[in-house]
Amino acid sequence: MTGVRGRELYRRYHRLIDDLAQSAEAGADWRAELSAQIERFEADADALDSASARVLREELCEQLEHEALHSTRDLAREILIAALKQLELGG
């Protein structure tokens, strides 16, 4: 992983995205909250060196993809995939 700071960021943003995916209700506007979380992630990742930020983003994307593939809740899967796409575009 990317050191102590990278592990902290990974845990924080994985938890935030997962919490949103698990708690969002059908019809709710979760996209704005997700976008805000991804923007904060990008700002925090920018404080790392570029290699560490890249590894952090890749590991978070891998985890979100894994969870999306195994999610039994359609809305959670949709949110996880949306997060994955935004992170991939940000890198």
At 60-70, the pLDDT tens digits run 999 999 999 99
- Which pTM was predicted? 0.91
Domain that holds residue 68: 3-90
> What is the total count of domains within the chain?
1
Give pLDDT, residue 19: 97
Which band of pLDDT confidence, cut at 50, 70 and 90, is reported for residue 2? low
How many Å apart are CA 84 and CA 80, to the nearest integer?
A: 6
Give pLDDT, residue 91: 58
- pLDDT above 80 for 51: yes
22: nearest Cα among 89, 76, 64: 76
What is the arithmetic mean of pLDDT over 2-26? 92
